[in-house]
Structure 1
Amino acid sequence: MKNVLLVLLSVMSFLFSYSQKGSYDLVNYTLPAIGNWTKDQKSSFISFTYINNQNNWCQIIIYKATAASGNIDSDFNAEWDELTAKNLSITAGPKRSGVKKTGQWTSVVGEGKALFDGLEMFIRHQVLVGSGNRISVIGKTNSAKFLKTIEEVNNSITLRKSPAENTPANHNVSKVPVNKEPEKLVEKIAPVRYQFQNTNWDDGWITTAAEDWAVVTRANTRVLIHYPNKQADAYNSVLKDGLQNAWNILVAPRYSNIRNYELKPVQSFESIAFAEADATEKATGKQVHIVLFKKHYSNGNGRYLEFVTADKGAYEQEFGAYRNEEFGWDKVAAMQGRNRFAVAAADLVGKWASSDYASLSYYYVNGGGFAGATATSIANEFTFFDGGKYQSDHAGASGVVGSQKFSRQVYKGNFVVSDWQMELTNRFEGALEKYSCYFEAVRGGRILMMTDRQGTVLSLVRQNK
């Protein structure tokens, strides 16, 4: 497998300062005319480097084709691990784009950051897969202004045609799913285990915790905030295919006579999943309009929202018309935040816990050998007792793996809860600490969300009661 440490070139083997078209192995490319590029060709790759007077640099590397696995996700991960992560100290990413299909070739781009000589650089790693081959085109720079240059190179890439294409017929036609599961009630209320089963919002919306979702209603409009679902939320590099899968699992089984069905996702940094249709609601026999929506937040906390209205006009009057861009979805996306329920002291009795972990590996620039790793882990545990007493245990470890420093702090005191606020006595140095708090409903229970005055958020899961 290829194992190349990419460095900035100090010896120029070829210079040009005009837009340059060229080819290497199976790749045709165009380099933007930004200045003098340095060309260097090795046995398995060709690279082009530009350095300006401010010591800002940009590097493009095109690799020879190697055998592909046939799965774009597996091929991207293998190329990223071997050509990018193996030789660099990655500090962020990869944040992956959606999959782009051109003829028999499929491509995906991963963006990230890494350290180069102690300074941060940007990485844009494009992987193209087709006809049994996979190819990497990698752009690196220490200046954000060159990210556009790298993107232009990526967009200029064309590839030699392989002997046969296997493009399915009607590739752009959305297939209406078949309803395979038995009919069930629209709302099945979750077992009452918490004092607050409803939230009445000032603008007239009402949220109720149901078994499979939190349902938000006002007049004739319902919004189902679906709880996390492993199958429906499974990652799919093709945004449209992932949306189709979610529709089949979350929506289709509860409707019949589905028509005017459209999948209209919007690819972006935080992509938008949007599908809509007219259908007959099995549980009521009513004709309704359905929109399935999800904003793919970078932190992974997006939820599928199902909007049910009398018709398309009613949906658009309340939430606005579909937009084929990443902006303008705030009112729709904000409905996810209505899965909130007030907290009662009696609901807290028991143990609640959360934990976080992060690590960073280091590699030598010259040899690529492993140079060690640092890691940080934090665990928080709150135990609430009858009578307004609490105990919390906060443990942490950080530093170089193998010689980490550990810390622990235990507090005991009283707590008071008033719907959306919590006060804890005898915190750090005996002080009173205030939190905003609420429950988020999930399948089979609730998550306790606590936010302190510094904005630190704790997501606590019940351990026992």
Structure 2
Amino acid sequence: MKNIFALLLCVVAITATAQKTTFDIATFTVAAGWTPEIKDFAASYIKTNNVTKSWCRVTIYKSIQSSGNPLTDFNNEWKTLIVKNNWGPATTPQSETETEDGWTSHSAVSTFTFENKEAYSLLSTISGYGVEVSIVVLMNSNEYMSQIEQLLGSIHLKKPDQPIVTTQQTQPVTQSNSHSGFAITTAPGNHGIFTSTTNFDDGWVAQPFADYVRVTKNQFTVLLHYGVEITDELRASNQMEAVIFDRFILPRYNVSNIRKFEQGVCYFCVHFFEADAVEKATGKRYHLGFRIITNNGVSKCIEILSPSQVAFQQEFPNHEKVESMLNYNKFAVTVNDLAGDWDSSSGAYAQMYSTTTGAYAGMNTSSSADAFTFNTNGTYSSNHKGAFGMVGSMKFYDQKYNGALTISPWELVMTKRFDGKTSTFWAQYEAVRGGRILHLTDKEYSGSQYHLVRKN
């Protein structure tokens, strides 16, 4: 194994040979017999031996924007390409470094287990002129060493006409639509919210726009972007958060010195980026923070513009403070925007199995639907129906209420509710793309909540 390590580490020198194959800014020579696998974000070359069961894959990734620090580039790519794919340990190894003609390479080798056998991985990153290229070699034998040496030794990188520091992606992304951005405009919102400005006690001011809620205080601007559905394309990239960052940020800003919060192996991971940003439309300079929070297939993104990194750290000393900004998507309720029909529905089920025998024991399910009609004459009506229990012996309910309605900015009072009682609800709107959600929470029984959308 030591011989393999030594051979791999000695072949990553940055040299120039005659052009044979070109991918992105890299030209290189590939020996005969290797099967190409070309995608928009990477070029791979694969060889296998059905007799010895040996295999090797060499992948040259499309150039991306450099962080400006070659070692940082290497550390980031080790976590992104090696650790996330289980090709090496979470702890970044000591890398070998070489510099030539303005390019700096960092390389390291590790082992991993593939089909219960030891395999080897090499990561080499080459940084310079504002860009960075990553090369990954995976193999389970030294059978292909001479051909790997030939390929890696032939790599020549084309220098950009001028350093690329603004438009390249921070990570390799999916092969389709990888450069397209999400539509982010400054257009006013069309949410139907009558009181469209909320002044919070702590000084923050929130306003809904077509693509986000803008929250401002003094020298800080926070954009609470409306939820993005996580599509199969985003999942396929294996670097979903980096793709989302690219698509939200790069169309509107020139960015440099991009940093991603790293926390090693995690379960409830924090996905947070920082960068130096220049707004393309105005030329203004900012410290940019970008947090991505994903739940139930939808990502909510928090974009924070600060005058400096120091100012950002003072206002947002921890990630909890950043996440709490989602609570500022909150707007008051009035008679003018409440009148009409609102409804919601939900459901859940669980397959049951015996803990003793393991035999199937049936399915337990529940579903509910709630509908409210609020009238301008101070009355309301509501209908609540659903079913719950084991399939085959489910219980059903259907409850109707009619009574008086009193509306204040953050509160609804409805008479003649359950058992004829009067119920008081906290009430607020959440702005979403093209509309709003009405949230009602019973003040006495906080577990009684409704999350309603307007029907008309």
Both proteins in one fold, TM over 0.5: yes
Question: Structure 2 unaligned runs (5+)?
Answer: 1-81, 91-111, 126-132, 137-167, 173-177
- Is 1:430 matched with 2:420? yes
- Is 1:317 matched with 2:308? no
Contact 1:103/1:165, CA 8 A, preserved across alignment? no
Q: Is the alpha carbon distance of 1:441 and 1:265 closer, same or farther for their aligned partners in structure 2, counting shifts above 3 Å?
A: farther
Q: Following TM superposition, by how much is the alpha carbon of 1:101 offset from its aligned partner in structure 2, in angstroms? A: 4.2
- Residue correspondence of structure 1 range 44-443 to structure 2 within 5 A: 100-101=83-84, 104=87, 131=114, 133=115, 160-162=117-119, 165=121, 169=125, 175-176=169-170, 180=179, 187-191=186-190, 193-231=192-230, 236=235, 241-256=239-254, 258-266=255-263, 268-295=266-293, 303-320=300-317, 328-365=318-355, 368-443=358-433
Contact 2:340/2:374, CA 8 A, preserved across alignment? yes
Q: Which deviations, in whole Å up to 9, do the C-alpha atoms of 1:72-107 show, x marking residues without a partner?
A: xxxxxxxxxxxxxxxxxxxxxxxxxxx954763799
State the AA in 2 paired with 1:225: L
- Aligned counterparts of 1:203 and 1:104: Cα–Cα separation in 2: 48
Contact 2:343/2:455, CA 8 A, preserved across alignment? no
Q: Which deviations, in whole Å up to 9, do the C-alpha atoms of 1:92-140 show, x marking residues without a partner?
A: xxxxxxx954763799xxxxxxxxxxxxxxxxxxxxx974x4xxxxxxx
Q: What is the identity percentage for the equivalent residue pairs of Structure 1 and Structure 2?
A: 30
Q: Is the alpha carbon distance of 1:218 and 1:333 closer, same or farther for their aligned partners in structure 2, counting shifts above 3 Å?
A: same
Q: Following TM superposition, by how much is the alpha carbon of 1:199 offset from its aligned partner in structure 2, in angstroms? A: 0.4
- Aligned counterparts of 2:87 and 2:124: Cα–Cα separation in 1: 10
Q: Following TM superposition, by how much is the alpha carbon of 1:462 offset from its aligned partner in structure 2, in angstroms? A: 2.6
Contact 1:260/1:277, CA 8 A, preserved across alignment? yes
- Aligned counterparts of 1:268 and 1:296: Cα–Cα separation in 2: 15
- Aligned counterparts of 1:372 and 1:263: Cα–Cα separation in 2: 46
Q: Following TM superposition, by how much is the alpha carbon of 1:464 offset from its aligned partner in structure 2, in angstroms? A: 2.1
Q: Which deviations, in whole Å up to 9, do the C-alpha atoms of 1:229-276 show, x marking residues without a partner?
A: 11489885998x2220220222221112x1001122445443211101
Q: Is the alpha carbon distance of 1:355 and 1:337 closer, same or farther for their aligned partners in structure 2, counting shifts above 3 Å?
A: same
Q: Following TM superposition, by how much is the alpha carbon of 1:403 offset from its aligned partner in structure 2, in angstroms? A: 1.7
- Aligned counterparts of 2:446 and 2:234: Cα–Cα separation in 1: 29
Contact 1:351/1:463, CA 8 A, preserved across alignment? yes
Q: Which deviations, in whole Å up to 9, do the C-alpha atoms of 1:159-189 show, x marking residues without a partner?
A: 6314x64767566999537994589876221
Q: Which deviations, in whole Å up to 9, do the C-alpha atoms of 1:250-308 show, x marking residues without a partner?
A: 2221112x1001122445443211101112101211111111013457x7887311001
- Residue 450 of structure 1 corresponds to which residue in structure 2? 440
Contact 1:422/1:436, CA 8 A, preserved across alignment? yes
Contact 2:353/2:360, CA 8 A, preserved across alignment? yes
| Aligned length, in residue pairs | 309
Contact 1:232/1:249, CA 8 A, preserved across alignment? no
Which deviates more, 168-177 or 411-420? 168-177
Q: Following TM superposition, by how much is the alpha carbon of 1:420 offset from its aligned partner in structure 2, in angstroms? A: 0.5
Q: Is the alpha carbon distance of 1:290 and 1:167 closer, same or farther for their aligned partners in structure 2, counting shifts above 3 Å?
A: same
Contact 1:359/1:376, CA 8 A, preserved across alignment? yes
State the AA in 1 paired with 2:276: D
Q: Which deviations, in whole Å up to 9, do the C-alpha atoms of 1:303-333 show, x marking residues without a partner?
A: 311001122122112112xxxxxxx422222
* TM-score, structure 2 as length reference: 0.60
- Aligned counterparts of 2:218 and 2:232: Cα–Cα separation in 1: 30
- Residue 39 of structure 1 corresponds to which residue in structure 2? none
- Residue 26 of structure 1 corresponds to which residue in structure 2? none
Q: Which deviations, in whole Å up to 9, do the C-alpha atoms of 1:130-158 show, x marking residues without a partner?
A: 74x4xxxxxxxxxxxxxxxxxxxxxxxxx
- Residue 138 of structure 1 corresponds to which residue in structure 2? none
Q: Following TM superposition, by how much is the alpha carbon of 1:375 offset from its aligned partner in structure 2, in angstroms? A: 0.9
Give the SS at the match of 1:244: helix
* TM-score, structure 1 as length reference: 0.59
- Aligned counterparts of 2:412 and 2:225: Cα–Cα separation in 1: 27
Q: Is the alpha carbon distance of 1:446 and 1:407 closer, same or farther for their aligned partners in structure 2, counting shifts above 3 Å?
A: same
Contact 1:415/1:424, CA 8 A, preserved across alignment? yes
Q: Is the alpha carbon distance of 1:343 and 1:423 closer, same or farther for their aligned partners in structure 2, counting shifts above 3 Å?
A: same
- Is 1:462 matched with 2:456? no
State the AA in 2 paired with 1:337: N
- Residue 140 of structure 2 corresponds to which residue in structure 1? none
Over aligned residues, Cα RMSD in angstroms? 3.5
Give the SS at the match of 2:445: coil
Contact 1:189/1:209, CA 8 A, preserved across alignment? yes
Give the SS at the match of 2:327: helix
